Amino acid sequence: MTDDISGVTEDTLFQSERYGTYSYKVPVTAGTYTIKLHMAELYWQVAGDRTFSVSVEGQVKLANVDLITQAGRFGAYTVIVPNVRVSDGALDIAVDPSKDAGTLSGFAIYSADGKLDTSTPPTNTNCKAYVGITYDDGPVNTTAFVNALKSAGLVPVTFFVNGTNIGSRPGAIKEMLTVGQVQSHAYTHVDMGSYSAAQVRSQLEQNNTAIVNAGAPKPTIFRPPYGTVNNTIRQVASELGMITITWDNDSQDWNGAATTAIVSANDRLQDGQVILMHENQTNSLSAIPQIAAKLKAKGFCPGKLDPKTGRAVAP
Ligand code: ZN
């Protein structure tokens, strides 16, 4: 294989591959590492013929990647996975194909600042997976939710709030911050599918101002009302420093789902996935203790939403 690889100068790294479903166990001292994963599509010519996921230390860091889409044929695709904590003496990297076979050209492991970092222990070494627990449309019933989340230990969560609701509840945003993050759900709860860029911008800027004025950090994640997404919405959110996300799993709490159904929907979450619930739905309030118990029984933990990917990750 001597085809020229675009995007890099060190072509040789990408010109071989290990192919299939496999995993590596690299012996390392306990510490925090940064991993660089190197990939290139050396066989298929069009998108859709190969997709695979890569997990590092049991967490999916790259989900259903298609190298043709990312970098084209023979294009170098490099993913950096920072802050990987290893406490069991071995760094685990696993490649799982979803279409055809997985392919990894190589990887490199860097310790933090060139030395091992053992100063900060991981927040919870028992978590097998992290899931994103989210509540939209508040602040409405904030105190009840915050108390229930605290007493069940279901933290952290993410609230996607509407600025129009903050007005009458100025203290609610600070209450939310005691159990997680506050992010944007637009100023009013409006479908912006036909909005101009200027109209979207107005909605998002007003909401950011309301959130910041109530004492929370400037939002980095935007979830549009009704999950309505288009390029204008994505672009404006991006210009304002936010990624646009929806959800992996809709609890249907807004549609009258029973508490047991909401608990089951949470129970179906896979590592990194995010569920949609609402802070103005009493069945979602009632579901909190059982959601917490079921996650704990599986060794799953609530995570924070990564502002780059929108996926649930270690807090
Ligand atoms: Zn909503």
How far is the centre of ligand 1, averaged over its atoms, from the C-alpha of 277 (Å)?
Answer: 9
Domain assignment of residue 204, yes or no: yes
Residues 20 and 88 in one domain: yes
What is the predicted pLDDT for the residue at 132? 98
How far is the centre of ligand 1, averaged over its atoms, from the C-alpha of 161 (Å)?
Answer: 8
**Total of domains in the chain:** 2
Half-sphere exposure of 43 (CA within 13 A, CB side): 15
How far is the centre of ligand 1, averaged over its atoms, from the C-alpha of 227 (Å)?
Answer: 8
63-102: string of b/e by CB count within 10 Å (b at 16+)? bebbbbebbbbbbbbbbebeebbbeeeebbbbbebeeeeb
Residues 96 and 239 in one domain: no
Residues 137 and 286 in one domain: yes
Residues 195 and 269 in one domain: yes
Q: Which one, of 243, 28, 208, lies nearest residue 117 by Cα?
A: 28
Structural domain of 64: 11-111
Residues 99 and 184 in one domain: no
Residue pLDDT, tens place only, 96-113: 888 877 777 767 777 766
Confidence class for position 14, pLDDT limits 50, 70, 90: low
Tell me if residue 292 falls in helix, strand or coil.
Answer: helix
Residues with CB under 5 A from ligand 1 (ion): 136-137, 225
CATH number of the domain at 290, please.
Answer: 3.20.20.370
Residue pLDDT, tens place only, 167-186: 878 899 999 999 999 999 99
* Spatial separation of the C-alpha atoms in residues 65 and 61, rounded to whole Å: 10
| Alpha helix positions (H), 124-162 | 142-152
State in Å, rounded, how far the first CA of the chain is from the last one.
42
Residues 308 and 171 in one domain: yes
Residues 99 and 135 in one domain: no
